[in-house]
Amino acid sequence: MIKFIGEFPTTLVSVCVIAGISATSVNSESTAHDAHIAIENSAVLTKQEATQIYLDLMDRMRTGYASAQLDIVSNYQDWPKYNDAPYISATHGQRYVNSYANKMARDYGTLNDGDTLPAGSVLAKDSITVTDEDHIFPGALFVMEKLSDGAHPQTGDWRYVMVMPDGSLFGDTIGSRSQEMVYCHECHEAVASRDYTFFVPSDHRLTK
């Protein structure tokens, strides 16, 4: 039976308790490329299964993230989506994610070396946790906003924001808890040549 778990809290202990996941199922080690609490027992889903779970959670996720009052992603679920079904992202804790981009970022996913997105581009990646024990609950919303040229050179003029499912703000590179977001840019530096943007895996890329 599918078990929908409550809102994803911000501490490792609470995650384990409320999700019914043992501490041994969660990898709390943090590196530049895996700084999120990783779910070691993520379920293997078909595209159809992952899509249906996401559809069931969409309204709940929209309402939760909206509590953050982050205007740049207030309507992100209405933006173009670049994947055909939720896919597992190792760099986001083995959670299923979707990749959205606003109109300013319409060239996202096709950038070549040396290309950049214009200021005002926003990328949003929402997430859900699905374990092989049938625990299912929303994950965080990960946001990248391209700032004006020279506005934040230490992150390549990108702002990184992480919003928890209940709307609480985990961190913002140009706001509160900025140090908690350093690992985001450290990870994205691997694709600095194409304006720090990762693409959707080829087997989940939406054909347009």
Per-residue pLDDT reduced to its tens digit, 176-198: 999 999 999 999 999 999 999 99
Give the long-range contacts of residues 11-20, CB within 8 A, separation 24 or more.
12/37, 19/129, 19/131, 19/135, 19/137, 20/133, 20/135
Number of domains in the chain: 1
Domain boundaries, position 56: 3-204
CA distance 173 to 104: 21
Per-residue pLDDT reduced to its tens digit, 28-85: 223 333 346 788 899 999 999 999 999 999 999 999 999 999 999 999 999 999 999 9
Per-residue pLDDT reduced to its tens digit, 153-163: 999 999 999 99
The dihedral of CA 47, 48, 49, 53: what is its sign?
A: positive
Per-residue pLDDT reduced to its tens digit, 131-178: 989 899 999 999 999 999 999 999 999 999 999 999 999 999 999 999
